[in-house]
Amino acid sequence: MSTSKARWAAVTGHALFWPVVALIALLVANTIYRPGFLSVEMKDGHLYGSLVDILRLAAPLILVGLGMTLVIATGGIDLSVGSVCAISGAIACLHISQQPDQNALGGVLVALALGVGLSLVAGAWNGALVSIIGIQPIIATLILMVAGRGLAQLITEGQIITINSEPYKSVGVGYLLTLPLAIFIAAGVALVVAAVTRRTALGMIIESVGGNAEASRLAGIRSGRITFLVYVISAVCAGIAGFMITANVSSADGNAAGLWIELDAILAVVIGGTSLAGGRFSLGGTILGALLIQTLTTTVYAMNISPQTSLLFKAVVVIAVCLIQAPAFRARFARRPPAAPAAPLAADQPKEQVPA
């Protein structure tokens, strides 16, 4: 009895318990509204269905969220990811549009390389502003958030570049082994980021810098380099997401591509249990957060919620998830029968300086 209770407490106490509950609740609500929601069918060797759509459409957000997770874990934030999406998409589409044969694989690969290269530069710029010059991350990345849109416009010369390239298009809507290619790309990048952070000591060192910057410095960590690195990783993730976003519509719009994705990404990271104050991070949590956000978006469309109220609907769900995740909020409502949860909360915060 008591062990099952303890196990239940361990499950409900897990950082990702409530996001999972919210995700399931959304899926159930959709199924009730439209019984065929969960069904997945095979057509022409491709899997179709709302679930597959959610995975495919969440891919860019997952990518951006992965990079954002690392940045936030160091105690920073990257507002420029949306603009970086636009820049990398724009340069890739521009290059392809200039090819005599837009379907040639070589040209598309060069386009992708250009996009990644420009993302690297963007990340290095952010990283240098934060780690070398020492500008607060929110301001440093705000610069590129605003200026980056202009840069993307410059690349496309203020036009929307439309391309007709099958190889490039497949980045967004292509299929591999019955599933959308985008899902594989997102999964692949997730595995690479996970390997780079968890197979090396990078993850621990990022958490150390975000958890206690001064202690890390005194332990001999070159925190400047680490900070620089996470902004570069974040920009590259955003650049790849930019390919997907532009490939989805086979056109590059410097204004619209990746617009506001930074906010969704930050939200995904927070829902995933990574603190905005830095420290411990969870890549899996961020992926779950991104899926939750995309499911929410899909729900809004599927339920024909009018565009006027859809943002409000989204906001209500997000607030509910964030509140229910907050220990302080839960403690307030769990207080009634067993008075326990409220008290340990106070004890959790040890008096920082036992008075001198």
Q: Which residues in this chain contact other proteins in the complex, by CB under 8 A?
A: 199-202, 204-205, 207-208, 211-212, 214-222, 226, 279-280, 347, 350-352, 354-356
Residue closer to other proteins, measured from CB, 117 or 224 = 224
**What is the closest distance, in whole angstroms, from the C-beta atom of residue 281 to other proteins in the complex?**
11
Min dist. Cβ of residue 203 to other proteins (A)? 9
Q: Is 278 left (phi over 0), alpha (psi -120 to 50) or beta?
A: left
Shortest distance in whole angstroms from residue 205 CB to other proteins:
5
Cα gap 118→203, rounded to integer Å: 25
Output the smallest distance, CB 355 to other proteins, in A.
4
Nearer to other proteins, 188 or 344 (CB): 344
- Sequence length of the chain is 356
Contacts of 62 (CB under 8 A, 6+ apart): 186, 190, 268, 286, 287, 290, 291
Q: How far apart are CA 92 and CA 110, in angstroms?
A: 8
Is the Cβ of residue 336 or residue 351 nearer to other proteins in the bound state?
A: 351
- Tell which phi-psi region holds residue 162, choosing left (phi > 0), alpha (psi between -120 and 50) or beta: beta
44/352 with CB nearer other proteins: 352
Q: How far is the CB of 2 from other proteins (least distance, A)?
A: 22
H helices of the chain, in order, are 2-13, 17-33, 50-73, 81-97, 105-127, 137-156, 166-173, 181-198, 202-211, 213-218, 223-249, 261-271, 283-302, 307-325, 327-334, 342-348
Nearer to other proteins, 174 or 341 (CB): 341
Nearer to other proteins, 97 or 223 (CB): 223
Q: Give the chain's radius of gyration (CA, Å).
A: 22
Q: How far is the CB of 341 from other proteins (least distance, A)?
A: 18
